[in-house]
């Protein structure tokens, strides 16, 4: 079965710096890889999606890369702000018609002023 590892449970950085979160997976490469943000007591919020044939995707201050050779995705938040503090989840879809997502445990990001 697919195993998903997110680099660390917690990441603390200073405001203005770039936060880099890692998502590693075993076995087969997914057809799609998605990133979500989750705040305490709330459901996950969809941020970005990247396809297996894409290397990079950007949205405002967010950037996602996808390396199928390393079996890894990196999620970057540039010019980070305290409001970016949350748990970030990566999720893999293996491309079946069902669209089932396999979620990692998440990385809790804290941006301090």
CA distance 48 to 31: 14
Binding mask 40-69 for another protein (x = CB under 8 A): -xxxxxx--x-x------------------
Query: Residue 28, interface with another protein (CB under 8 A)?
Result: no
SS3 state of residue 84: helix
To the nearest 10°, report the CA torsion of 104, 90, 22, 37: -110
Which range touches another protein (CB under 8 A), out of 10-18, 58-66, 75-83, 102-110? 102-110
- Nearest by Cα to 91 from 1, 31, 8: 31
Query: Residue 73, interface with another protein (CB under 8 A)?
Result: no
Q: Please give the residue ranges that form the binding site for another protein (CB under 8 A).
A: 4, 30-32, 34, 41-46, 49, 51, 89, 91, 93-101, 103-106
């Amino acid at each position: 079965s697919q195993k998903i590892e997110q680099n660390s449970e917690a990441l603390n950085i200073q405001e203005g710096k770039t936060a880099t979160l890692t998502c590693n997976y075993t076995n087969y490469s997914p057809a799609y890889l998605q990133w979500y943000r989750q705040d305490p007591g709330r459901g996950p919020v969809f941020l970005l999606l990247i396809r297996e044939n894409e290397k990079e995707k950007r949205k405002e201050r967010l950037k996602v890369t996808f390396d199928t050779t390393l079996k890894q995705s990196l999620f970057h938040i540039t010019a980070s702000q305290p409001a970016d503090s949350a748990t970030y989840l990566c999720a893999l879809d293996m491309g079946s018609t069902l669209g089932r997502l396999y979620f990692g445990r998440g990385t809790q990001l804290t941006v301090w002023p």
